[in-house]
Structure 1
Amino acid sequence: MSKNVRTTNKELADAVALSPSSVHERTKRLLNSDLVSGAHLDVDLGQLGLSLRALLFVQMSEHEKSNLDAFVHDVLEIAEVRAAWMISGRFDAIVELVTRDTAHLHRVVVERFSSREEVHRIETSIIFDGAEQRDLSALLDIDT
């Protein structure tokens, strides 16, 4: 299922050599557990005109670090923000953005991030290319 959430029950049953009814019950239990929190579609944002992806490395003002959790959740309200994480190290947060072009990116960074009192410093990196791993089968085989 981690490879393709749209795999049919019959395909799953064939892959694991179980009956479709057994796979259905196991899948239902899995989806009702706290292990799986949802499924998503991968949308090609480039086809929507949002082809520029960037990461903002954000350093908070010293007196505002206690509000980092609120900052991370607050920036998710910005339309161009796809994700935000609290991190350790030199920076306090990373924010992933999608924009139409560099002018749009510049406007979002200046108007929605640099102008914030709690933000001390921002470094911006444009993402040229990347890949994601969604197949968890090898990870589940790691010895603990």
Structure 2
Amino acid sequence: MKRDEIELDEADRRLLGAVQKDASVSQAELADLAAVSPSQVSRRLARLKEFGVLRGIVGVLEPKLAGLTCSAIIRVRLRDHAAANVRAFRDLVERMDEVTLCVMTTGETDYLIKVVARDLPHFQEIVQSKLLRCAAIAHMESSIILEHLKDTTALPLGDT
């Protein structure tokens, strides 16, 4: 079976749903929530990790309580789509811890990135010292996030 051909059964979906809600619960609790045995929890999680369905188990932080009070969405348009420009931009983004999301999009914008910063002056420093120095970028437009109406890492898996 190839990596992208994994079939998820209902127990897998319940297990993934439970892990998305709170990965810190015990294997016994996960087993109850997924309606499988504790030994099945270990085997299923290992299989889901092996196939890349479960990329990792992490703690989700509250940015403001972690001292990151400013977030922004930045729309980026590259100068052109030459391989060197694309690579330069991608390398920059990969090196920037402040970038928490980067997606390639259709339309007038090539990429959307989400940046977190301590405050507005720190955001300005990030833009001026990192992003504006990237020769691959032709145009940037940023919007400061005023309020998060929904911010989740949970995927809709159906009834879990």
Q: Same fold (TM over 0.5)?
A: yes
For the residues of structure 1 that align with 2:77 and 2:153, how far apart are their CA atoms?
A: 30
1:95 positional shift: 1.5
Q: Deviations over 1:65-86 (max 9, x none)?
A: 7632541242221232222222
* TM-score, L = length of structure 2: 0.74
1:4 maps to which of 22, 41, 44 = 22
For the residues of structure 2 that align with 1:39 and 1:16, how far apart are their CA atoms?
A: 17
1:57, 1:93 within 8 Å by CA — same for their partners in 2?
yes
1:51, 1:101 within 8 Å by CA — same for their partners in 2?
yes
Q: Amino acid of the residue matched to residue 107 of structure 1?
A: E
Aligned to 2:14: none
* TM-score, L = length of structure 1: 0.80
Q: Deviations over 1:50-102 (max 9, x none)?
A: 21001111111136476325412422212322222221111111121111222
Closer, same or farther in 2 for the Cα pair 1:8/1:45, shift >3 Å?
same
2:79, 2:85 within 8 Å by CA — same for their partners in 1?
no
Closer, same or farther in 2 for the Cα pair 1:133/1:100, shift >3 Å?
closer
2:94 maps to which of 60, 76, 83 = 76
2:78, 2:136 within 8 Å by CA — same for their partners in 1?
yes
Task: Using the TM superposition, name which of 85-94 and 56-65 deviates more.
Answer: 56-65
For the residues of structure 2 that align with 1:62 and 1:25, how far apart are their CA atoms?
A: 47
Closer, same or farther in 2 for the Cα pair 1:63/1:73, shift >3 Å?
closer
In the alignment, is residue 92 of structure 1 matched against residue 110 of structure 2? yes
* Count of residue correspondences: 140
For the residues of structure 1 that align with 2:46 and 2:82, how far apart are their CA atoms?
A: 44
Counterpart mapping for 1:7-86 below 5 A = 7-62=25-80, 64=82, 67-86=85-104
Structure 2 gap segments, 5+ residues each: 1-18
Aligned to 2:158: 141
